Chains A and B, each alone.
Chain A
Amino acid sequence: MAAWDLSVAVEELGPEAPPLSVSVTSDLHIGGVILKVVEKTEISRDWSDHALWWEQKQQWLLSPAWTLDKCGIHADARLTFTPQHKPLRLGLPNGVTLKLRACFSGPAFRTVMGICRVLNIRHPEELSLLRPVEEKKKKKDKETAEEVYDLTGVPLTSVSIPSLYNGMPAHFADSPQTEAVYKMLSITQPAPAPENITKMYRPASVVDKAHIHSRWLDSSRSLLQQGVQENDRLWLRFKYYSFYDLEPKYDAVRLTQLYEQARWAVLLEDIDCTEEEMMLFGALQYHINKVSQSEPQGMTSCPAMDDLDSALQCLEVKMDGETSSMDMLETMTTAPELHDYLKIFRPKRLTLKGYKQYWFTFKDTSISYYKSKEEGFGEPIQQMNLKGCEVAPDVNVAGQKFCIKLLIPAPEGMNEVYLRCENEKQYSQWMAACRLASKGKNLADSSFPTEVQNIQAFLTMQCPNPKSQSAQADDSINTHSLVSPRYQKKYKAKQLTPRILEAYQNVAQLSLTDAILRFLQIWQALPDFGVSYFVVRFKGSRKDEVLGIANNRLIRIDLGVGDVVKTWRYNNMRQWNVNWDIKQVAIEFDGNVNIAFSCVTANCKIVHEYIGGYIFMSTRSREQSDTLNEDLFHKLTGGHDAL
Chain B
Amino acid sequence: MENSSSKSSGSENPSMEISFQRLSPSAAESQAKLSCPTSEGDDPPEPAGYSSSPSSLSDSVSVIHPLPPVKGGDVIAFKMDDIDAMFSDLLGEMDLLTQSLGVDTAPPESQSSSNTEINFSIGFTDFNESLNELEDNDLDALMADLMADISATEEKLALGDSSRPDPLPEPMGLPPPPSLPQDYGLPTSPGNTSGPRALAPSQAALPIPPAPASQPPAPPQACESLLPEEVEAQAKADKIKLALEKLKEAKVKKLVIKVVMNDGSSKTLMVDERQTVRDVLDNLFEKTHCDCGVDWCLYETNPELQIERGFEDHENLVEPLSAWTRDSENQILFLKRIDKYAIFKNPQNFYLWKRDTKSLKDMKEKDKEMLLEENFCGSSIIVPDMEGPLYLKEDGKRAWKQRYFLLRASGIYYVPKGKSKTSRDLACFVQFDNVNVYYGKEYKHKYKAPSEFCFVLKHPQIQKESQYIKYLSCEDNWTMTLWVTGIRIAKYGMMLYDNYKEAMKKAAVSSLWSNRTITNSSTPPTPSKASSQPNGHAPQPPVQMPTAATASSEAWAETKGHGNTSSLPPLPPSEDFLPPPPPDPVMPLPPPPPDSVLPPPP
A complexed with B: yes
* Residues of chain A at the chain B interface (Cβ within 8 Å): 243, 246, 269, 272-277, 280, 324-325, 328-329, 332-333, 363-364, 366, 368, 379-380, 383, 385, 388, 390, 409-414, 486, 506, 517, 520-528, 552, 562, 567, 571-572, 591
* Contact status B240-A325, CB under 8 Å: yes
- Residue B397 is within 8 A (CB to CB) of chain A in the complex: no
CA of A243 to CA of B379, assembled, Å: 8
CA of A572 to CA of B433, assembled, Å: 37
For B354, B408, B420, the residue with the greatest tally of chain A CB atoms inside 10 Å of its CB is: B408
Q: A274-B426, A276-B411, A412-B462 known; A525 and B245 CB under 8 Å?
A: no
CA of A552 to CA of B370, assembled, Å: 10
* Contact status A364-B431, CB under 8 Å: no
Instruction: Determine the chain B residues whose CB is within 8 A of the CB of A328 once the complex forms.
Output: 241, 244-245, 248
Of the 9-residue stretches B8-16, B52-60, B448-456, which lies at the interface with chain A?
B52-60
* Contact status A521-B379, CB under 8 Å: yes
- Residue B460 is within 8 A (CB to CB) of chain A in the complex: yes
* Contact status A411-B463, CB under 8 Å: yes
Instruction: Determine the chain B residues whose CB is within 8 A of the CB of A552 once the complex forms.
Output: 374
* Contact status B428-A411, CB under 8 Å: no
Interface SS of chain A: mixed
CB closest chain-B residue, reference A246: B379
* Contact status A368-B55, CB under 8 Å: yes
* Contact status B44-A521, CB under 8 Å: no
* Contact status B462-A409, CB under 8 Å: yes
Total CB contacts across the A-B interface at under 8 A? 132
CB closest chain-A residue, reference B53: A363
Q: A329-B244, A366-B55 known; A280 and B410 CB under 8 Å?
A: yes
CA of A385 to CA of B59, assembled, Å: 8
Mask of B349-380 contacts with A, CB within 8 angstroms, 1/0 = 00000100001000000010010001000111
Q: Which of B54, B367, B467 contacts A571 (CB 8 A)?
A: B367
- Residue B422 is within 8 A (CB to CB) of chain A in the complex: yes
* Contact status A410-B426, CB under 8 Å: no
* Contact status B428-A275, CB under 8 Å: yes
Instruction: Determine the chain B residues whose CB is within 8 A of the CB of A379 once the complex forms.
Output: 54
Given contacts A325-B241, A333-B46, A333-B49, 8 further A-B contacts (CB under 8 A): A328-B245, A383-B58, A410-B461, A524-B378, A525-B380, A525-B382, A526-B409, A526-B423
Instruction: Determine the chain A residues whose CB is within 8 A of the CB of B173 once the complex forms.
Output: none
* Contact status B380-A521, CB under 8 Å: yes
* Contact status A414-B459, CB under 8 Å: yes
Q: A272-B422, A332-B44 known; A527 and B461 CB under 8 Å?
A: no
Q: A411-B463, A552-B374 known; A524 and B241 CB under 8 Å?
A: no
- Residue B405 is within 8 A (CB to CB) of chain A in the complex: no
CA of A272 to CA of B406, assembled, Å: 14
For A243, A328, A413, A526, the residue with the greatest tally of chain B CB atoms inside 10 Å of its CB is: A413
Q: A333-B44, A379-B54, A409-B459 known; A276 and B383 CB under 8 Å?
A: no
Q: A274-B423, A520-B380, A562-B422 known; A388 and B59 CB under 8 Å?
A: no
Would you list which residues of chain B between 404 and 457 have a CB under 8 Å from chain A? 408-411, 413, 420, 422-424, 426, 428, 431, 433-434
Q: Which of A246, A414, A520, A562 contacts B466 (CB 8 A)?
A: A414
CB closest chain-B residue, reference A563: B421
- Residue B385 is within 8 A (CB to CB) of chain A in the complex: yes
CA of A272 to CA of B425, assembled, Å: 10
CA of A246 to CA of B381, assembled, Å: 15
* Contact status B44-A329, CB under 8 Å: yes
Q: Could you name 15 residue pairs across A and B whose Cβ atoms are closer than 8 Å? A: A272-B424, A274-B423, A274-B424, A276-B411, A276-B428, A380-B54, A385-B59, A409-B459, A409-B461, A410-B461, A412-B463, A524-B379, A525-B383, A526-B409, A572-B367
CA of A262 to CA of B227, assembled, Å: 63
CB closest chain-B residue, reference A367: B55
* Contact status B467-A413, CB under 8 Å: yes
* Contact status B434-A390, CB under 8 Å: yes
For A383, A410, A571, the residue with the greatest tally of chain B CB atoms inside 10 Å of its CB is: A410
* Contact status A274-B408, CB under 8 Å: yes
* Contact status B379-A517, CB under 8 Å: yes
- Residue B468 is within 8 A (CB to CB) of chain A in the complex: yes
For A272, A325, A379, the residue with the greatest tally of chain B CB atoms inside 10 Å of its CB is: A325
* Contact status B424-A414, CB under 8 Å: no
CB closest chain-A residue, reference B325: A411
Would you list which residues of chain B between 6 and 44 have a CB under 8 Å from chain A? 42, 44
What are the 3 A-B residue pairs with the smallest beta carbon separation, nearest first? Answer: A413-B466, A409-B461, A524-B380
* Contact status B428-A332, CB under 8 Å: no
CA of A411 to CA of B458, assembled, Å: 11
Instruction: Determine the chain A residues whose CB is within 8 A of the CB of B186 once the complex forms.
Output: none
Instruction: Determine the chain B residues whose CB is within 8 A of the CB of A383 once the complex forms.
Output: 54-55, 58
Rounded to whole Å, the gap between the CB of A520 and the closest CB of chain B is 7
Instruction: Determine the chain B residues whose CB is within 8 A of the CB of A366 once the complex forms.
Output: 55, 59
Rounded to whole Å, the gap between the CB of A528 and the closest CB of chain B is 7
